[in-house]
């Protein structure tokens, strides 16, 4: 749902885990009983205080834009509503969602513990202070350190070193399943040896810090501030994950059909659709009666392509069109004609109503491909969206579909908020951010980025050759002309 992808600074900024983790989660990818239906004022203040430390630039921008601030709270409310409904319907108990909630909890603990104990040691990628010797020791390889209290406890309950490979396999299975659900192209993705090793190291480092954290927690050596931060971030990140999963499952219920769009257009004559059809039909009748087509095009066509770069009108002329260049409805109608003929009926596309005259068609001697010259007159059915005053016109069907989708989303979200008694504070205070804080934060972010990018085994070497990339669409459709 679009409402869940608005750049939620209150969640996204503070949940940034760092380059290595982000790249792994993009490539491959608890507190299941948490209460997701509310954020208290104290929790919100804690979140803002953390953002002030992590990204004062984003917080300062937020403080200068009351509307964005309001949108952040509304988006947070929507995420909590979807997460609460997902929990109510039992999604948190289903595999692999239950396992991923546990993964999120472990990752949040490890990241925050890493930041806390290493905050004064200079820039380093996430978990960069965990050496290879400790990773090997975690897997029972190399020299073994004395077992601590937490290790002994895990051994007693059946979670010792011999079980870690089983837990890792569950971790990988969960990540791959979720990856396949969110990106069908990656559904059958098999890890390369390099990817599996990176995941194995990442899994080990998370659990090394989790073990340390839990051992210190049992001894009372973890500050209440850190505990509260971890609890809040876990809830927010799990809520965001559940909201995304649940909204995907609800997509069919919120889908707007072509029939819905057509009915809305028919029921709203103020959109001018039939009026524009009548206008186009009148021009078509004049063309069929023998009036000069180019003159009619120059007088009536609303196609911006009817003028060249100097503003000279072209009489609706489009020469040398290779087959496949124009939108399918337009091209099919044009190629059904013989040179000199005018299409007997209006041709409707997303752009509006077209009146088409074929001038010439034949095989290009250089390419052996069919090409054709065509003239056309466009009566646009584009609509100006009143909620986007600075945007251009949209095709009427696109406008109506987006409008209906938003109305259904808003109504659904309103129902879920009420049903789950979701509560979020009406406002929050933003501390004063000095220019010096901003400069220092930007400097630190640059140092962290440089350290991550140059670190051995870092997230991005700049060489993606042969690697799957779920973020790139290499099958984007060709641009269609009118």
Residue 151 pLDDT more than 60? no
Q: What's the average model confidence in pLDDT over 311-320?
A: 90
Please provide residue 336's backbone torsions phi and psi, each rounded to the nearest 5 degrees: -80, -10
Closest CA to 21 of 134, 175, 170: 175
Residue 215 pLDDT more than 60? yes
Residues 6+ apart with CB under 8 A from 401: 256, 261
**What torsion, rounded to 10 degrees, do the Cα atoms 137, 143, 144, 146 define?**
-140
Q: What is the 3-state secondary structure (H, E, C) of 378-434?
A: EEECCEECCCCCCCCEECHHHHHHHHHHHHHHHHHHHHHHHHCCCECCCCCCCCCCC
pLDDT at 96: 87
pLDDT at 375: 96
232-246, 261-275, 351-365, 464-478: segment of lowest average pLDDT: 464-478
Angle formed at CA 212 by CA 43 and CA 100, multiple of 5 degrees: 60
Q: What's the average model confidence in pLDDT over 470-478?
A: 33
Closest CA to 468 of 196, 189, 199, 201: 189
pLDDT band at 137 (very low <50, low <70, confident <90, very high): very high
Structure tokens at 478: 């060709």
Q: Which residue has the higher pLDDT, 146 or 317?
A: 317
pLDDT digits 0-9 by tens, 27-81: 333 444 578 999 999 999 998 888 887 788 888 888 888 888 888 898 899 899 9
289-298, 318-327, 342-351: segment of lowest average pLDDT: 318-327
What is the DSSP secondary structure assignment for residue 354, as one 8-state letter?
Answer: E
Q: What's the average model confidence in pLDDT over 92-111?
A: 92
Q: What does the alpha-carbon distance between residue 263 and residue 242 come to, in Å, rounded to a whole number? A: 34
For 360, the enclosing helix (H) or strand (E) is strand 352-363
pLDDT band at 447 (very low <50, low <70, confident <90, very high): low
User: For 273-380, which CATH class?
Assistant: alpha beta
What is the DSSP secondary structure assignment for residue 130, as one 8-state letter?
Answer: S
pLDDT digits 0-9 by tens, 414-440: 999 999 999 999 998 888 888 787 777
pLDDT band at 480 (very low <50, low <70, confident <90, very high): very low
pLDDT at 30: 43
Compute how many other C-beta atoms are within 10 angstroms of the C-beta atom of residue 167. Answer: 13
Query: In 160-272, which ranges are continuous DSSP H helix?
Result: 164-182, 193-218, 224-249, 251-254, 258-267
pLDDT at 283: 97
Residue 4 pLDDT more than 80? no
pLDDT at 419: 94
pLDDT at 50: 83
Mean pLDDT over each residue of the chain, to the nearest integer: 82
pLDDT band at 183 (very low <50, low <70, confident <90, very high): confident
Q: How far is CA 228 from the centre of its chain?
A: 28
Query: In 289-395, which ranges are continuous DSSP H helix?
Result: 293-300, 328-335
Are the CB atoms for 29 and 191 separated by under 8 Å? no
Model pTM score: 0.69
Closest CA to 325 of 90, 482, 138: 482
Q: What does the alpha-carbon distance between residue 448 and residue 17 come to, in Å, rounded to a whole number? A: 12
Three-class DSSP category at 58: helix
pLDDT digits 0-9 by tens, 231-286: 999 999 999 999 988 888 888 888 999 999 999 999 999 999 999 999 999 999 99
pLDDT at 54: 77
Closest CA to 128 of 452, 461, 462: 452
Q: What does the alpha-carbon distance between residue 232 and residue 36 come to, in Å, rounded to a whole number? A: 10
Structure tokens at 310: 């100097």
Are the CB atoms for 243 and 86 separated by under 8 Å? yes
For 45, the enclosing helix (H) or strand (E) is helix 41-54
Compute how many other C-beta atoms are within 10 angstroms of the C-beta atom of residue 250. Answer: 17
For 322, the enclosing helix (H) or strand (E) is strand 317-322
Q: What does the alpha-carbon distance between residue 47 and residue 177 come to, in Å, rounded to a whole number? A: 31
Residue 462 pLDDT more than 70? no
Are the CB atoms for 32 and 98 separated by under 8 Å? yes
Structure tokens at 396: 């009427």
Q: Where in the chain is the domain with CATH 3.10.50?
A: 273-380
């Amino acid at each position: 749902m679009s409402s869940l992808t608005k750049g939620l600074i209150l969640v996204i900024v503070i949940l940034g885990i760092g380059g290595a983790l982000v790249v792994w989660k993009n490539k491959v990818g608890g507190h299941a009983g948490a209460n997701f239906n509310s954020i208290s004022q104290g929790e919100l203040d804690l979140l803002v205080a953390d953002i002030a430390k992590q990204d004062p630039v984003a917080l300062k921008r937020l403080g200068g834009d009351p509307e964005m601030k309001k949108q952040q709270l509304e988006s947070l409310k929507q995420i909590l509503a979807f997460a609460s409904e997902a929990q109510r319907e039992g999604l948190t108990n289903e595999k692999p969602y239950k396992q991923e909630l546990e993964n999120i909890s472990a990752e949040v603990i490890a990241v925050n513990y890493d930041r806390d104990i290493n905050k004064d040691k200079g820039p380093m990628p996430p978990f960069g202070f965990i050496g290879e010797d400790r990773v090997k020791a975690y897997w029972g390889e190399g020299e073994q350190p004395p077992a601590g209290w937490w290790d002994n406890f895990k051994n007693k309950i059946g979670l010792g070193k011999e079980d870690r490979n089983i837990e890792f396999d569950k971790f990988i299975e969960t990540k791959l399943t979720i990856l396949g659900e969110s990106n069908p192209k990656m559904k059958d993705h098999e890890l390369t040896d390099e990817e599996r090793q990176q995941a194995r190291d990442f899994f080990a480092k998370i659990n090394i810090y989790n073990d340390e954290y839990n051992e210190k927690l049992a001894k009372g050596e973890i500050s209440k501030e850190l505990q509260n931060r971890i609890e809040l971030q876990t809830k927010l990140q799990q809520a965001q994950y559940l909201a995304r999963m649940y909204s995907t499952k609800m997509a069919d219920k919120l889908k707007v059909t072509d029939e819905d769009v057509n009915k809305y257009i028919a029921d709203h004559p103020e959109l001018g659709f039939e009026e524009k059809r009548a206008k186009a039909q009148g021009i078509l009748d004049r063309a069929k009666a023998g009036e000069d087509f180019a003159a009619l095009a120059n007088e009536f066509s609303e196609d911006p392509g009817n003028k060249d770069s100097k503003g000279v009108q072209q009489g609706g002329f489009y020469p040398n069109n290779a087959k496949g260049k124009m939108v399918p409805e337009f091209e099919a109608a044009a190629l059904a004609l013989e040179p000199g003929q005018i299409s007997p009926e209006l041709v409707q596309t997303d752009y509006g109503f077209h009146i088409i005259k074929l001038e010439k068609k034949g095989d290009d001697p250089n390419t052996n491909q069919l090409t054709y010259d065509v003239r056309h007159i466009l009566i646009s059915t584009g609509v100006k969206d009143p909620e986007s005053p600075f945007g251009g016109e949209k095709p009427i069907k696109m406008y109506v579909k987006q409008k209906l989708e938003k109305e259904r989303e808003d109504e659904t979200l309103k129902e879920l908020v009420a049903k789950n008694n979701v509560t979020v504070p009406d406002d929050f205070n933003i501390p004063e951010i000095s220019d010096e804080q901003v400069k220092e934060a930007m400097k630190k972010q640059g140092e962290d980025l440089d350290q991550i990018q140059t670190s051995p085994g870092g997230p991005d070497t700049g060489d993606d050759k042969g690697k799957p990339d779920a973020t790139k669409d290499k099958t984007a459709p060709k641009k269609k002309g009118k």
